[in-house]
Structure formats: C-alpha cells, structure tokens
Amino acid sequence: MDRVILLVEDNPDDEALTIRALTKNNIANRVEVARDGVEALDYLFGTGAHAGRDVTKLPQLLLLDLKLPRIDGLEVLRRLRADERTRLVPVVILTSSKEEQDLISGYSGGANSYIRKPVDFTQFAEAVRQLGIYWLVINEAPPAPRAA
C-alpha cells in the first residue's frame, strides 16, 4: 500500500524544512506537495492537474497550512470534511499562525490536530518526528473509500 503524505504548503522554505524533517526522522512515506488550496483539492478529488488520479488512494495524512493562496487551508478543510470520500482523512494543521481564531476554526472544521511550526529546526524536526510516529505508525487509519 502506498502511504502518501499530502503536504499543503505555499512557502518553499517551510516545504523544504518539512521534507527535511521527515527524511531526518526516517519517515519514508512518499510526500506529495500542493502549493495552494486549489492544487490540494485537485489532488484529493482527482480534478484539474490531477485529473485521472485514482481518488480511492487517499493520503494517509494531510499536513495543511492555513495561509494559502487561491483557497485558504480552512476552506480546504471544510470541503474535505463535506465530501463523503475524504471526510475521514486525518488532517494535521501545520501553521505559523498564532491567531486563536485559526485554532478554534481549525478544530471546529474537523482538524485532527493543530501544530504551530516552531521557528527552531531542531524543535521542528522533533515535532515532525512525533507527528510521524503517531499518525503514520501508532494511529489506526480509517478504511479506504469504496470506488463509486
């Protein structure tokens, strides 16, 4: 089974940092990157640039930034949770936002976890290590949706 992490991140530095932290912690899952909310939704629903993708193969984990171009992370989360096919995908909000309203909106919208990106790489790598162990090893993933 191909266990994919979908990283939705528009900042190239944060994208590189996240991938580096995953690699440093021997998290070997394939990482697909969407650089804005539209691209994330296209990946999840097999539309646009991802037309024809097998949408029954959902990511094992979605790492979602909030401040994204075109469609923000909270709207991506809303659409993901509103669709029967994707509503059970584990979503970890990974953001630098310190706004309490984002925290509340994230959990209200159905996020499974909310992590503020630490500024220090060592702390960030440790957060990613713990996240990987929990979500990719310990946590029992929801069953894959059946093809329509």
Q: What is the pLDDT of residue 124?
A: 82
What does the angle CA 85 – CA 88 – CA 91 come to, to the nearest 5 degrees? 120
Which of 10, 49, 102, 114 has its CA nearest to residue 41? 49
**Rounded Cα–Cα distance for residues 96 and 109 (Å):** 18
Q: What is the pLDDT of residue 47?
A: 96
Residue whose token pair is 């097998």: 54
Contact call for residues 5 and 29 (beta carbons, < 8 A) = yes
**pLDDT tens for the chain, residues 1 to 148:** 468 999 999 999 889 988 988 888 888 889 999 999 999 999 999 999 999 999 889 999 999 999 999 999 999 999 999 999 999 999 999 988 889 999 999 999 999 999 888 778 888 888 888 888 788 777 777 777 665 5
Q: What is the pLDDT of residue 146?
A: 64
Q: What is the pLDDT of residue 42?
A: 97
pLDDT tens-place string over residues 92-104? 999 888 899 999 9
Q: What is the pTM of this model?
A: 0.89
DSSP annotation string for 119-143: SSHHHHHHHHHHHHIIIIIIS-PPP
What kind and span of H or E run contains 81?
A: helix 73-82
Q: What is the pLDDT of residue 132?
A: 81
Burial class (CB in 10 A: 0-12, 13-18, 19+), 3: middle
Q: What is the pLDDT of residue 109?
A: 95
Which structural domains are found in the chain, ordered by start? 4-138 (3.40.50.2300)
Contact call for residues 80 and 45 (beta carbons, < 8 A) = no
